[in-house]
Amino acid sequence: MPADLPDIETRADCERLVRAFYGKAMADPVIGFIFVDVVQLDLEAHVPRITSFWETVLLGNKTYSGGAFGAHVGVHAKVRLREGHFKRWLGLWFGTVDELFAGERANLAKVHALRVGQAFHQRLQGFPSPGDDDAPAPAGIVVTQHPPGG
């Protein structure tokens, strides 16, 4: 990591980081489909909101309100968000931060992303997702198992 990289100082820096990250994430062979196919993310609508999130976290400017977890529950209901997805998200985020910035706020961006990623992954384990064998059957449907050929 070159020592001459600036730290994250402004909202414009936060937006630069967010845009660079999503450029990589949406094209990524591991997690890109979540953004492109599952969520069909409108990047131009999403960037100001997620920039406000990071501006609030990193700069203390209270421009973000609301919670991000609910949106991730909705995604998890469509496609199971696994530990590998979170690890890839973090790897791309860390790499993007390190390419563009260095310093106290850059480190905070990585530490906070790690905390959020771990917390979201852990909390999502309590929510059903596609392919859950132990998910309750919809009302009125009885699930039975039969031996092969029986």
Domains of the chain: 11-124 (1.10.490.10)
The structure's pTM equals 0.80
Tens-place pLDDT, residues 117-135: 898 888 888 877 776 544 4
Structure tokens at 86: 């979170």
Tens-place pLDDT, residues 94-114: 999 999 999 999 999 999 999
> What count of other Cβ atoms lies within 10 Å of the Cβ of residue 148?
4
Q: What is the dihedral of CA 97, 116, 33, 96, to 10 degrees?
A: 0
